[in-house]
């Protein structure tokens, strides 16, 4: 699907430790964004925004620790860096993980409580058309071992729901989805994120 969106100033990073990061890079590049795969603190220092992809949240958390990326990412988030978290990325950005592993660390970047694999295991994956605030036509969402949002804070804007459950939400410059927008030909959600990045980078310039 063709999408027109302003290319953001600077570079959009994609966390490239585990998960479907290649697909995110491809979509962002198609939309005209300059991208960088982020594996080290030096990589992070060169980006203006970050995409945290799907994957396995506990494995990703372990790799964030070994790559010494937790604290640098936390500092950037605390100072307003735009971030888009999908599936496992949503879990890592949530303020509370209801069934998290002992010692599991998150970033608390968006005031939501989530449950890992809240929709079931791999065999329970599904696809659904959802209505998204700001989009004229339904969005075909792919849910794979998706986290389920159990509650949202007062400052969180829910942009889409499935069967009464929030599946796309935003708080400030933080955007999260419980599904995998990188696995479809519909790039409108990445375009939405790039508009967030464009606004943030233009304001900071």
The catalytic position among 24, 30, 87, 187 is: 87
pLDDT (tens digit per residue) in 20-58: 899 999 999 999 999 999 999 999 999 999 999 988 888
Residue 123, pLDDT above cutoff 60? no
59 vs 2, more confident: 59
Name the pLDDT band for 10 (thresholds 50, 70, 90).
confident
Q: What's the pLDDT at 102?
A: 63
The catalytic position among 180, 187, 190, 198 is: 180
- Sign of torsion over alpha carbons 178, 97, 78, 55: negative
Q: What's the pLDDT at 47?
A: 96
pLDDT (tens digit per residue) in 76-105: 999 999 999 999 999 999 999 987 666 678
Q: Give the global pTM.
A: 0.92
The catalytic position among 24, 182, 190, 198 is: 182
Active site residue 182: yes
Domains by residue range for the chain, with CATH: 12-204 (3.40.50.880)
């Amino acid at each position: 699907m063709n999408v027109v969106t302003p290319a953001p100033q600077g570079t959009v990073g994609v966390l490239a430790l585990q998960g479907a990061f290649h697909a995110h890079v491809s979509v962002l590049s198609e939309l005209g964004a300059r991208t960088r795969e982020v594996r080290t603190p030096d990589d992070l220092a060169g980006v203006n925004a970050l995409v945290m992809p799907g994957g396995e949240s506990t494995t990703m958390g372990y790799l964030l620790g070994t790559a010494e990326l937790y604290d640098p990412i936390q500092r950037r988030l605390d100072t307003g860096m735009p971030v888009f978290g999908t599936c496992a990325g949503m879990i890592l950005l949530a303020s509370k993980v209801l069934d998290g592993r002992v010692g599991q660390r998150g970033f608390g970047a968006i005031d939501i409580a989530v449950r890992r694999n809240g929709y079931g295991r791999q065999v329970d994956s599904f696809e659904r058309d959802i209505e998204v605030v700001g989009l004229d036509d339904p969005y075909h969402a792919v849910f794979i071992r998706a986290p389920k949002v159990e509650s949202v804070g007062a400052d969180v804007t829910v942009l889409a729901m499935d069967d009464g459950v929030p599946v796309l939400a935003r708080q400030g410059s933080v955007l999260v989805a419980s599904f995998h927008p990188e696995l479809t030909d519909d790039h409108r959600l990445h375009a939405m994120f790039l508009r967030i990045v464009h606004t943030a980078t233009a304001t900071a310039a």
